[in-house]
Chains A and B, each alone.
Chain A
Amino acid sequence: MTRRVFIASTLLAGTALTLLPQGEKTHIRVEPFKVIETVQKVLFPKGLKAPSASEFGATNYLATVTTHSSFWKDDLKFLIFGTELLMKEEPTFLSMNSEKQDKALRDFVNNSSKGENWVSLLLFYTLEALFSDPIYGGNKNELGWKWTQHHTGQPQPKKMWAEEIA
């Protein structure tokens, strides 16, 4: 198991964890990712043809890319902050049915610009997960590309982050 897969699976399994991007300590408690995973399911549910966020690995993607030094730390902080804000405003969000979650999320967006910015940012990273190369842990089985009949450019990356190929 590589370090990043370990991190991703640990995050989702529910253990508190310390991530160390580039030697700088950023503490992520487990709950934020649980909230994020739940919200992503609402943002991108299983459609008639569209794959769901869980199917294409939206949260797994985020868990992978947030560990890299190129991930914007302000975005990471805001992603976590938004989960706290949502939990404050909608404490029962995680246990609601999907219809109620959708409604709660729409209220959350309409009630504050922070809420709207947070959902927009999380949606951005959800779409990044849907359409990025599967090497980053999202777009599982190229589900995003297949769904939209998109042909990616060749060659595809053999390594993440444009690293040199030995």
Chain B
Amino acid sequence: MKYDVCIVGTGAGASGVAHTLTEAGLKVVMLERGGFLKEKDFSKDEVAYCKRDIVTPNLKESYHTIEALENGKWVKTPTYVTESSFFNGNIVGGSSNFMSGYFHRLKPVDFKLLSTYGTIKGANVVDWAIDYDEIEPYFEKVERLVGVSGEVTPYKYHEPRSTKEFPYPPLDEHPISKRIDQSCNKLGFVPYKTPRAILSKPKDDRANCYYSNYCGSYPCSSGAKGSARASLLQPALKTGDLTIITHAFVKKLVEKNAKVTEAIYIDTQTKKEHNIKANIFVVAGQAVESCRLLLNSKSKNFPNGLANNTGQVGKNLLFSAGGVGSGQFDAKTMPLKELMVEGLFVNRSLCDWYEIEKMKGGIVDFLFEHANPISKASKQRWEGSKLLWGEELQNKIFHKFTATKQLNFEVFNDWLPTDNCFVSVDEKYKDVYGVPVANIRIGAHPHDLKVAKLLAKKAEEVLKEMGAKNILSSMSSYPPANLQAGGCRFGNDSKTSVLNKHCQAHEVSNLFVSDGSFMPTGGSVTYTWTIYANSFRVGDYIVANWERYNK
């Protein structure tokens, strides 16, 4: 059978396309590397979801090499050596199942970094091929369909909205949020109410949030979290036009006359190879894996990988710059009864420094340390460089769990695109199927750290004003594995970009890339909202131009 459209991946970048196409009656097949787990299967099992490679490939089966600068040389280290996976959720719905759902839109300035701030030496900053107004209707669509809860906080850099308020009211807040507000007001900062991709009210088959206290890193058992699976794929399946093939690892896209003719995948359970034919192919396997697939899809016309005759595939990979910080609270700073309330959200950010004088800034999100007890307890075994055990360790754990709470903050700012951050493939490193794995060179521009530190200082001021103890922050140039974008950036010039403004490959007309890979610059917020919005936009373009491909 030949499908209308074959989509590689089932995450946020894939699901907006699938939802739009099946709504228009097109026959769509999606290829997912992992299995199909649903609400009934999910639990708050820290061992399975947070401590082992269960919902990501076993690193002996597949891995990445991380290429870092060591003593002036770029050195590749496989992730099975470091035990640090760069996969982020290989089940239907992808990593969106495991997100925390801190949702921020990009701001108009993010589409025009080059023309607003000019060049930065050593960075490949460009303007986007579209502006904010073109994607705004899709940001709004995400609010409705994926479900975003919140309340608009007016402040200096707020992006324009086509609707007045969020479709879902804010989630219930922890008592500490009021204290953040008070401290921000004293300092003259705007306490920004963080929108969340979590339903505060039921929607269709999805129940509202039940405040499990185990949100980020876990799949949601009520369907409240706006995962691609719960919010878009389950409704799309109801059309009868969507087929999802699970345990399907796509190793290659086959090209003929500058068109993709089929996808070859390996059934990871039977180890057998299969192929899928379609008129259009959409790649959305998360930035790194999408680049890997194109780079590994070599042919006579494309000896360096599909759509890569200009050598742009994999280049200008982005992560999110920033880091984390924290402060400790106990009965001296807040009544224990209030402090130890579980499950409710902090939902506060600082966005006042989205632009800092003549420089692009970023945001800060506040959140409690995760409830995960294994992770919390195991950190207690070290006191500096001294290993604790016995009564000493027991007392420390007991105090940590019963008398204190840690308020964290996370800084997000632009990871500037540079020549030292990219995806490549290397015949020397292959997965268990004999397919070269993705190598990720992780060089970061020093400017990123400078901005991150400025933002961290502002967050520290808030914690100090609140009376927190042991305020620490650690801004880092090491990339967060779960915040990937770029690598197949879009643009109007085919020499410097992989995709055109519709996220269609310049060189291969029936190939689209609809995950975060298209982003030429990342903005200073987490990517998921933008990825969802753009996925709907790409879906609309394919539907509007369908007749051209239906041959």
Q: Enumerate chain A interface residues (CB-CB to B < 8 A).
A: 42-45, 47, 49-50, 65, 68-73, 102, 105, 109, 116, 119-120, 123-124, 127-128, 130-133, 135-136, 144-145, 147-158, 160-165
Contact = CB atoms under 8 A, between A and B. Distances in A.
B44 A70 contact: no
B214 A153 contact: yes
A37 B493 CA distance: 65
A124 B44 contact: no
A156 B37 CA distance: 16
B55 interface: yes
Contacts of A116: 387
Given A43-B389, A50-B398, A148 B54 contact: no
B33 to A, nearest CB: 15
Nearest to A116: B387
Interface in B183-240: 210, 212-214, 218, 221
A33 to B, nearest CB: 19
Given A123-B387, A145-B373, A153-B214, 13 more contacts: A45-B390, A49-B398, A68-B52, A102-B390, A123-B393, A127-B378, A131-B46, A148-B397, A150-B371, A152-B44, A161-B48, A161-B52, A162-B49
A127 B49 CA distance: 17
B40 A165 contact: yes
A148 B43 contact: no
B371 A153 contact: yes
Contact of B374 (A42, A45, A132, A156): A132
Nearest to A122: B389
B342 interface: yes
Contact of B46 (A44, A65, A133): A133
22 contacts: A44-B389, A44-B394, A47-B394, A49-B398, A70-B54, A70-B58, A71-B52, A116-B387, A133-B47, A136-B47, A148-B373, A149-B401, A151-B342, A152-B214, A153-B371, A154-B221, A157-B48, A158-B43, A160-B48, A162-B37, A162-B54, A165-B41
Interface of B: 35, 37, 40-49, 51-55, 58, 60, 83, 210, 212-214, 218, 221, 342, 371, 373-374, 377-378, 381-382, 387, 389-391, 393-394, 397-398, 401-402
Contacts of A71: 52
Nearest to B377: A127
Given A162-B37, A162-B48, A156 B43 contact: yes
Contacts of A163: 41
A165 B48 CA distance: 14
Contacts of B46: 131-133
Nearest to A133: B45
B532 to A, nearest CB: 25
Given A70-B58, A154-B44, A157-B48, A147 B398 contact: yes
A151 B221 CA distance: 17
B35 A69 contact: no
Given A148-B398, A161-B54, A119 B47 contact: no
A155 B378 contact: no
Nearest to A156: B43
Given A102-B390, A128-B378, A150 B373 contact: yes
Contacts of A155: 42-44, 221
Contacts, number: 127
B389 A70 contact: no
B374 A131 contact: yes
Nearest to B390: A45
Contact of A50 (B43, B48, B374, B394): B394
A41 B94 CA distance: 41
Nearest to A136: B47
Interchain residue pairs A-B with the least CB separation, the first 7: A153-B44, A153-B214, A148-B401, A131-B373, A70-B52, A157-B43, A162-B48
Nearest to B60: A73
A162 B40 CA distance: 11
Nearest to A45: B390
The residue in A70, A71, A105, A109 that gathers the most chain B C-beta atoms within 10 A of its C-beta is A70
A149 to B, nearest CB: 5
B402 A149 contact: yes
B45 A127 contact: no
A48 B53 CA distance: 36
A78 B51 CA distance: 18
Contacts of A135: 45
A44 B391 CA distance: 8
Contacts of A69: 58
Contact of B381 (A70, A120, A158, A165): A120
Contacts of A45: 390-391
A163 B40 CA distance: 11
B370 to A, nearest CB: 10
B401 A150 contact: yes
B35 A157 contact: no
Nearest to B376: A131
Nearest to A150: B373
Contacts of A49: 398
B45 A162 contact: yes
Contact of B390 (A43, A120, A145): A43
B247 to A, nearest CB: 12
A109 B387 CA distance: 9
A158 to B, nearest CB: 7
A128 B381 CA distance: 12
Contacts of A161: 48, 52, 54
Contacts of B387: 109, 116, 119-120, 123
B55 A162 contact: yes
Contact of B377 (A42, A73, A102, A131): A131
A105 B393 CA distance: 15
A47 B47 CA distance: 25
Given A123-B389, A162-B41, A162-B48, A128 B402 contact: no
Nearest to B43: A157
A136 to B, nearest CB: 6
Nearest to B214: A153
